[in-house]
Structure 1
Amino acid sequence: MRNLSARIITTTAASLMVFTVPASQAQSSAYPNKPIRIIVAYAAGQGTDVATRLLGEQISKELGQPVVVENKAGAGGILGTELAAQAAGDGYTLTMGTNATHALNEFLYAKMPYDPVKDFEPIAMVGTFPMVLAVGTATPYRTVGDVLEAVKRKPGSADIAMPSTSARLVVEFLKERSGVPLFGIPYKGSGSAMTDVLGGQLSLTIDTPLALRPHLASGKLRALGVTSGTVSSLVPGVKPVAEQGHPGFEFVAWNALYAPKGTPAEITRMLNATVNKVLAKPELRQRLLDLGFDPAGGSAAYLGVFARKERERWAPIIKSAGIRAD
């Protein structure tokens, strides 16, 4: 009888182990079984929002569950990203991070309510885009070197419209590399900056390929250089700044998918595989290119290393220039 009782206890314990130990794995293997939310920390209609919605449509088709995009704009992307950081790490809340939310903001703001490394699991890089240096066609400048030489001869002769923090970082980086006293004037957005450059009040602007595209196509602006390390398909035929006497000069803005910390590895692996699969689709790639994004992809580990290097690279430039966003 004692042997029988022992066998029953042993069998029962084994059964409990089978059903209790792998519970989290069972939950993960059933993923997803309800809608997935992607928080976008920017306003609806902006490039990051539209790209996220395109990606979400494709992820939904692959995983068989609705993907809902939720906009939580404010404080340079901090509000929405904080909300994502506080969400459960179960794979049902994700966020579309950017170079601002996951690399730059911690150096631009005095207080940060989230940690871009400790509070998130990287999933995959989604897209990148360079900034473009462009001038009004009435100016004599044909290359980045022309602008630098003009400013050397006469400081203030080619002031630069800066409609974003990214544009300001490009100016500071170019000042550091060239030793030329460039002067940038901050704007709240592309619209007002473009008005002044097109009107001849300023010679130069630094903006995204999407914002500049119609003005370059109409011949009202002329692109002098792109900040990617190599030629970008988003601005065909325009030489990188790196190839105009400044080797190693590179700045790209980026979007990447993240999950809250603690999201099971099997879920992040599934999401990474899904993102890479949909980014390989020609129709989605073309739509992202039309939006001004170079489709990316790659492993979660690559994204983690890339973002870390971005923080290491831009932190000293932001600090030395005294750039603050608050």
Structure 2
Amino acid sequence: MHSASRRGVIAATLGLALGLPLTAVAADWPTKPVVLVVPQGTGSGSDVVARLLARYMAPALGQPVVVENRTGAGGIIAHQSVMRAPADGYTVLFTSTAQLLVVPALYASAKYTLDDFDPVAPVLRAPFALLVANTPGAPKTVKELVEALRAKPGAYASAGIGTMTHLGSEIFLKRAGVTASHVPYKGSGAALTDLMGGQVLFATDSLTAAMTHVRSGKLRALAVTGDKREASLPDVPTLAEAGLPGEPIGVIGGLFAPKGVPKDAAARLDKAVKEALQNPELAARFAATETGILRISNAEFLEQLRKATPFWQGLVRELDLKVE
């Protein structure tokens, strides 16, 4: 018998004899491939990042990391499948604010919460931008947009009811003390096309979706919604700098395991992700998609998620949003 395996058997036997819980993993964990579940389809932004993560995590783990796309029901299928998987570290989920925190408030069928998972590795942060068409008559500052809405409530576009782009605009309106009509679209592409065409006055959307149009001169970013200015938009103020302070608006995401994952396995996964995020190719991919690397500890990650949960879910309830 291999010495590591023999040590594992001895430890297990002693644990049983003493009535101790077997929560630790063997010193040679992992001994088989790790499955990384992605709620989005192949080719999506999350899928691309997950596959790069998987490629660079594998050498650190000494085992392949296999990406599985489990799409459907707004991410519910993927989250429920990982929630019900064995808590052994071999099945992890790549998810973020929208599907982890907002979807359970929108869909009665979700039946999962943050407490059903253990965060094992923070990965990304992605703020939004407050956008208007880059035309002579469009507002040039947040103050001008607020004044325009106060004089004549217009309309704003979103990627759909209950999306982060919808909720982000509602937060802006609430802080500014103005109103506007919501025009939901099927995705950011259609929403931003109509924004550029003048069918709506403004939108809140990710830098990933918007930056191509900002660089081409078709859209103007009035503010970014994070807690600091973005490197790609150094002259664009934050909402707080523009006179509308409050919690940062955006997405944070990372890897999650079923509740109760052994600490040793979680630590190995976290270390592998941190090593992967040091890779220049992965860093370049993040930069190209306007996604920031979330360089915080797991404890800080969980603290941010716990703080964000009542913030987003309270907004969903306040707007009386439900999707069946």
User: Under a length normalisation based on structure 2, what TM-score does the superposition of the two structures give?
Assistant: 0.89
Q: 1:228 aligns to what?
A: 226
Deviation of the 1:224 alpha carbon: 0.9
Asked which structure has the greater CA Rg, the reply is: 1
Deviation of the 1:42 alpha carbon: 1.1
State the alpha-carbon separation in 2 of the partners of residues 53 and 245 from structure 1: 40
- In structure 1, the gaps of 5 or more residues are 1-15
State the alpha-carbon separation in 2 of the partners of residues 183 and 146 from structure 1: 18
Contact 2:107 2:322 in 1 (8 A): yes
Q: 1:7 aligns to what?
A: none
Q: 1:6 aligns to what?
A: none
Q: Cα deviation per residue 1:124-160 (whole Å; 9 max; x = unaligned)?
A: 210011111111112331111111100101122xx21
Q: Does 1:21 align with 2:14?
A: yes
Q: Cα deviation per residue 1:94-133 (whole Å; 9 max; x = unaligned)?
A: 000210222212211223232321x211112100111111
C-alpha spacing 1:31/1:319, structure 2 compared with 1 (3 Å): same
Q: 1:183 aligns to what?
A: 181
Deviation of the 1:315 alpha carbon: 2.2
Contact 2:25 2:264 in 1 (8 A): no
Deviation of the 1:283 alpha carbon: 3.7
Write the letter of the residue equivalent to 2:319.
A
Q: 2:285 aligns to what?
A: 287
Contact 2:38 2:70 in 1 (8 A): yes
C-alpha spacing 1:234/1:21, structure 2 compared with 1 (3 Å): farther
Contact 1:123 1:303 in 2 (8 A): no
State the alpha-carbon separation in 2 of the partners of residues 49 and 277 from structure 1: 19
Q: 2:157 aligns with which of 139, 143, 161?
A: 161
Contact 1:272 1:299 in 2 (8 A): no
Q: 1:93 aligns to what?
A: 91
Contact 1:126 1:257 in 2 (8 A): yes
Write the letter of the residue equivalent to 2:118.
E
State the alpha-carbon separation in 1 of the partners of residues 66 and 190 from structure 2: 33
Deviation of the 1:203 alpha carbon: 2.4
Q: 2:120 aligns with which of 123, 126, 130?
A: 123
State the alpha-carbon separation in 2 of the partners of residues 193 and 324 from structure 1: 21
3-state DSSP class of the match of 1:95?
Answer: strand
Q: How does 1:145-294 map to 2 (within 5 A)?
A: 145-156=143-154, 159-164=155-160, 165-294=163-292
Write the letter of the residue equivalent to 1:210.
T
Structure 1 stretches of 4+ with a deviation exceeding 6 A read none
Q: Which has the higher helix share?
A: 1
Q: 1:63 aligns to what?
A: 61
Q: Cα deviation per residue 1:167-211 (whole Å; 9 max; x = unaligned)?
A: 111122122211111222111101211221222212222211111
Q: 1:81 aligns to what?
A: 79
Per mean C-alpha deviation after superposition, the further-off stretch among 299-308 and 233-242 is 233-242
Q: 2:49 aligns with which of 43, 48, 51?
A: 51
Contact 1:151 1:181 in 2 (8 A): yes
Q: 2:6 aligns to what?
A: none
Deviation of the 1:22 alpha carbon: 5.3
3-state DSSP class of the match of 1:131?
Answer: strand
C-alpha spacing 1:178/1:36, structure 2 compared with 1 (3 Å): same
Q: 1:135 aligns with which of 125, 132, 136?
A: 132
State the alpha-carbon separation in 2 of the partners of residues 304 and 249 from structure 1: 17
Contact 2:126 2:250 in 1 (8 A): yes
C-alpha spacing 1:71/1:194, structure 2 compared with 1 (3 Å): same
3-state DSSP class of the match of 1:84?
Answer: helix
C-alpha spacing 1:59/1:151, structure 2 compared with 1 (3 Å): same
Deviation of the 1:325 alpha carbon: 2.9
Identity %: 35
C-alpha spacing 1:278/1:150, structure 2 compared with 1 (3 Å): same
3-state DSSP class of the match of 1:244?
Answer: coil
Q: 2:3 aligns to what?
A: none
State the alpha-carbon separation in 1 of the partners of residues 71 and 291 from structure 2: 21
RMSD: 1.9
State the alpha-carbon separation in 2 of the partners of residues 146 and 81 from structure 1: 42
